[in-house]
Each structure stands twice: as C-alpha cells, then as structure tokens.
Amino acid sequence: TRDFVFVEDIVAANIRALSSKKDFAIYNVSTSRETSVNTIANQLLKISGKSCKIEHQSPVKGEVLRNSLDNHLIIEELAWKPNIDLQEGLNRTWDFFNTSL
C-alpha cells in the first residue's frame, strides 16, 4: 500500500510551509490513508473504460510493503489538509494524459 497525494495538494502544502513563520519543521504531506496499487490499477481501468490483465509480481527485496503517514502535525501547525480525494485525483490525471498525449 501507499499513501497517494494529488500533486496540487503537495504544491499547496509546500506553499504553506514556505509561508510559515517557522525556521525549521518536518511535515508528512499525506492523506493518512493506505491505498493498494491494485486498487489504483482497478480504478484506472474503470476510468479509462479499458481492460487488461493485471500481473502481480513478488515484492522486491527490501521494498516497503505498507506505507501511510501521519499528517496531524501539518494539519495542526499549518492548517493544511489534502483537498483532492483519490478518485478525483485519478480522474484528473486520466483526463490530463488522455488529452495531452
């Protein structure tokens, strides 16, 4: 699993951090939600209207299998939170690449 964050939310978090009065701080820019790569693949298939076989492979040695970060500090100190949920982010990403390529 991974903690997927839409790029516009990441940009907004960085702008908030740069605009803050703090000299130094470390924040987790995250949704605090785990999503499997399999879920992403299946949602993209639905969005695209395409079909294909999803092939699963064994994890690479040393790969982090689950990843979800705690974002409470950035919410508390910078009043930032992610605004684009996973489905909307995937829709926007699909639309961008579908019209750009």
Average pLDDT over residues 91-101: 94
Spans of all domains in the chain: 7-100
pLDDT for res 52 = 94
Using one digit for the tens of pLDDT, what is the confidence trace for 24-69? 999 999 999 999 999 999 999 999 999 999 999 998 999 999 999 9
Which one, of 34, 36, 16, lies nearest residue 25 by Cα? 16
For 7-100, CATH number? 3.90.25.10
Q: Is the pLDDT of residue 101 over 90?
A: no
Write down the pTM of the prediction: 0.88
